[in-house]
Amino acid sequence: MKAFVAKIFDINKKPNFITVLWFLVPFIALMIEVQKENIFINNYLIYKNVFWHTFQEKNLYSLYPAEYFDKNHYGPLFSILIAPFAILPNNIGLMLWGMVNVSILFYAVGKLPISFWGKNIILLLSLIETLTSTQNLQFNPMLCSWIILSYVTIKNSQLSLAAFLIVAGTFIKLYGVIGLPFIFFTKDYKKLIGYLILWAIILFCLPMFISSPEFVYQSYIDWFHVLVEKNIENVNSYLNASMQDISVMGLILPAS
């Protein structure tokens, strides 16, 4: 027992104390979230209903005050990702959702071509932000993982997987497009572009298996409009508060 504890708390061995913290702290936070009322798990309710609304072919971007507040801002492809969690009871689904997000980010950091110490430093520095995302049941840790892994897979010449991660992230929350500049890390950029096009076609059509082509096509149009609307709201909120919009668009466009 003493040897096991020593191994856990030794930063130079696996598993180490940071690994334990990485999984234990979010797990405790999720256990607390499970006990709360629906208003505190609103993000998860939005997520799971992306699946159910797609399945029922109900507008993904309308307001549904009886189910949750705010609007969905995720693409139709998210319905496929969230499906395994959405069909479960809320307490089980949100626990699994949170821990899968945390686990994938841990895996992605572990794949970075840096030292064991470097990976631990990244995990430690990221823990608080990851905890915040976990408490809010957000998709951000998984999306961050996909961006990291898109770089790693391109460097390892796993171009099909890299293209899948970039397209999937983009079709779900747009920010996955950040992985596109990694195309400059491979000499086989034409092959990568080909995979990007292939995965774009496949992932665009994938939600049609639980709805219909007409619904999915219209949902992408609706998604574009709701994102434009959301961006205008964000810009106006910064202007009203006399603050600088620190997004890429906000830094390029004048605040006037």
* pLDDT classification of 36: cutoffs 50, 70, 90: confident
Average pLDDT, the chain: 88
pLDDT in tens, 92-136: 999 999 999 999 999 999 999 999 999 999 999 999 999 999 999
What is the four-CA torsion angle of 83, 84, 86, 90, rounded to 10 degrees?
-170
Q: For residue range 225-235, what is the model confidence (pLDDT) as tens digits?
A: 999 888 787 66
How far apart (Å, rounded) are the C-alpha atoms in residues 250 and 77? 27
Output the DSSP codes for 8-40: HH-TTSSS-HHHHHHHHHHHHHHHHHHTS-GGG
Per-residue pLDDT at 54? 98
Measure the CA–CA gap between 50 and 29, rounded to whole angstroms.
Answer: 24
Residue 189: which domain range? 2-252
* Number of domains within the chain: 1
Rounded to two decimals, the pTM is 0.86
Among the listed ranges 74-78, 193-197, 237-241, which one has the minimum average pLDDT value? 237-241
- Per-residue pLDDT tens for 196-238? 999 999 999 999 999 999 999 999 999 999 998 887 876 666 5
